[in-house]
Amino acid sequence: MNIHSEKILILDFGSQYTQLIARRVREAHVYCELHPFDMDLEAIREYSPQGIILSGGPKSVYDAEAPAVEEALFDLGIPVLGICYGMQLLARHFGGKVVPAGKREYGHADLMSKSTPGPLFDGFFIDGKSPVWMSHGDHVEKIPDGFEVISQTDNAPVAAIQNVERNLYGVQFHPEVNHTPRGEIIVDTFVRKICRCKGQWTPGKIIEDAVARIREQVGTDKVILGLSGGVDSSVAATLIKRAIGDQLTCVFVDNGLLRLAEGDQVMATFAENMGVKVIRVDAEDRFLQALAGETDPEQKRRIIGNLFIDIFEEEAARIANAIWLAQGTIYPDVIESAGGKTGKAQNIKSHHNVGGLPDYMKLKLLEPLKELFKDEVRAIGEELGLPHQMVWRHPFPGPGLGVRILGEVKKEYADILRQADAIYIEELYTSGYYDKISQAFAVFLPVKSVGVMGDGRTYEYVISLRAVETKDFMTADWSKLPYALLSRISSRIINEVRGVNRVAYDISSKPPSTIEWE
Ligand code: XMP
């Protein structure tokens, strides 16, 4: 039995929570994939999942063009769990009635058990009750023949239904979101007890499987990988090194826009400790020259991205017989680039990574993390023995300090920012706050303000500190760091970094601000 031999299929009807369903299934140690709701029945049969989950979605099942699954899906004999829209679809398919609710229900509700809650709720209720998260406009008014109601809330008399004989279940609430405490028990019960999956998807087995697959794919070929020092490329490099040893060469481009001592840390971890072949390219001058005079954020991103590609290509050309390009692409990147049926979000900032390498490079792609969520990548990183600080480091954008120095990028500014940022991050580590927040960094503002130091007047630059808390980086709250900590960071920066006499703290949330300043 391999780790992909048991799997759950999640059909996506466009809910903002669909990825969370997949994460909960993975947490139950079962592999799953997300596919569009109209996946071909033949393809589903061939895929042969142990269970199917129908996600929520923004439409109403009685709309003229409401998305639906192929009718025969329910005759495959595969257990089905419908969530929100998915449950309404299930109910309607079997002859139940779905109507608009008098009042849209959004937020917490107390789910109450019926006298026999049924297999799906095994171990879920405490004293017959449990809080759940609701978000729906429609509800099931009449359940289909052969089904029974297994729970209710004050506003939703039909909060969950089942047909145990046919292994069909529906819940009106969202067990996948964090707002439903213990919701993971329901997903776990569905995949392990109802679908009878044993739970093969564990970090150790994922590594074993990835190593075997890399060996099989690559054979005796050579592989190159652009190492950035971020979690994804670091874990990819470690896995590939384990699989094929010296056939891997990493290229680490120092663009002069990295954090303090970052290049040395990457070399120490990979080249010195792990014996990975890493070519370090010192390209600071080229990047700074290319950026000279440019103040537009999108142009800066483009310049940095394009030059990265040029340099990477130059280095790749030097590595004899490299046939594979390895990338740290992860599952959310795959889902997002496949594009939702509901249309893609507007491009607010052009994010770049090595994924933008041109076709004519003619390298085959090796993407050992492309089935994994970020938390799984981290778990694997830990299992592979990467340092905690590398596995749990905050995200760092491809253009690096280039988008944290507002306006024109200059070496003087980058040096000031690096020092201020290092003090900030060090203080976050020593105070224990680094691991409690999602992302923190300093920003350089190219404006001068007046200050006084000793007996003299100063006229120097401003540093702004940013710290945010977020689950998905699509929305974020600014972190309420303690005043005493902010105060210590501010005085250290002003005392220790020449050229700075003022520190500000960014108290904007996303939206309407973004996390990075450019
Ligand atoms: P924003 O600023 O859009 O950032 O709220 C959301 C998350 O994305 C990161 N980010 C980037 N990552 N290349 C990247 O690889 C980029 O150009 C880029 N811009 C923003 C940002 O650090 C945050 O985690």
pLDDT digits (tens, 9 = 90+) for 464-473: 999 999 988 8
The closest alpha carbon to 258, from 393, 137, 118, 75, belongs to 393
- What's the pLDDT score for residue 341? 40
516 Cα–ligand 1 center, Å: 6
Task: Provide the pairing of β-strand 439-453 with 364-366.
Answer: unpaired
On the 0-12 / 13-18 / 19+ scale of CB atoms within 10 A, 294 is middle
Q: Is 352 in the pocket of ligand 1 (CB under 6 A)?
A: yes
In sequence order, the β-bridge partners of residue 238 are none
Looking from the CA of residue 439, the nearest atom of ligand 1 is 24
Sign of CA dihedral 371, 377, 382, 385: positive
User: The domain 203-391: what is its CATH number?
Assistant: 3.40.50.620
Q: Is 513 in the pocket of ligand 1 (CB under 6 A)?
A: no
**Closest residue CA from atom 17 of ligand 1:** 351
The closest alpha carbon to 420, from 513, 499, 507, 515, belongs to 499
Looking from the CA of residue 353, the nearest atom of ligand 1 is 15
List the single range of 14-18, 192-196, 319-323 with lowest mean pLDDT: 319-323
- What's the pLDDT score for residue 335? 86
User: The domain 410-505: what is its CATH number?
Assistant: 3.30.300.10
- What's the pLDDT score for residue 116? 83
The continuous run of DSSP H or E covering 154 comes out as none
pTM: 0.90
**Closest residue CA from atom 14 of ligand 1:** 397
Looking from the CA of residue 510, the nearest atom of ligand 1 is 5
Instruction: Please pick, among 174, 315, 427, 518, the residue that the annotation labels catalytic.
Output: 174
Residues 242-286 have pLDDT tens digits of: 999 999 999 999 999 999 999 999 999 999 999 999 999 999 999
Residues 424-461 have pLDDT tens digits of: 999 999 999 999 999 999 999 999 999 998 889 999 99
Q: CB–CB of 249/223 below 8 Å?
A: yes
On the 0-12 / 13-18 / 19+ scale of CB atoms within 10 A, 276 is buried
> What percentage of the chain reaches a pLDDT higher than 70?
96
436 Cα–ligand 1 center, Å: 19
- What's the pLDDT score for residue 102? 76
203-391 and 410-505 agree in CATH topology? no
SS3 of residue 484 by DSSP: helix
Q: Is 402 in the pocket of ligand 1 (CB under 6 A)?
A: no
Q: Is 176 a catalytic residue?
A: yes
Residues 283-323 have pLDDT tens digits of: 999 999 999 999 999 999 999 999 999 999 999 889 888 99
SS3 of residue 310 by DSSP: helix
| Rounded distance between C-alpha atoms, residue 8 and residue 201, angstroms | 12
SS3 of residue 85 by DSSP: helix
Q: Is 233 in the pocket of ligand 1 (CB under 6 A)?
A: no
**Closest residue CA from atom 18 of ligand 1:** 397
Q: Is 174 a catalytic residue?
A: yes
47 Cα–ligand 1 center, Å: 35
485 Cα–ligand 1 center, Å: 26
The closest alpha carbon to 405, from 354, 449, 459, 441, belongs to 441
- What's the pLDDT score for residue 1? 77
| Rounded distance between C-alpha atoms, residue 333 and residue 221, angstroms | 26
Residues 316-367 have pLDDT tens digits of: 889 888 999 999 999 988 887 776 443 334 455 555 444 456 666 678 999 9
Q: Is 349 in the pocket of ligand 1 (CB under 6 A)?
A: yes
> What percentage of the chain reaches a pLDDT higher than 90?
86
Q: CB–CB of 238/244 below 8 Å?
A: no
Q: Is 518 in the pocket of ligand 1 (CB under 6 A)?
A: no
Q: So where are the chain's domains?
A: 7-194, 203-391, 410-505
- Three-class secondary structure assignment of 397-413: CCCHHHHCECCCCCHHH
- What's the pLDDT score for residue 360? 63
**Closest residue CA from atom 3 of ligand 1:** 514
Please give the average per-residue pLDDT across 507-517, as a whole number. Answer: 96
In sequence order, the β-bridge partners of residue 134 are 107
Q: Is 84 a catalytic residue?
A: yes
In sequence order, the β-bridge partners of residue 500 are 461
User: The domain 7-194: what is its CATH number?
Assistant: 3.40.50.880
In sequence order, the β-bridge partners of residue 326 are 225, 366
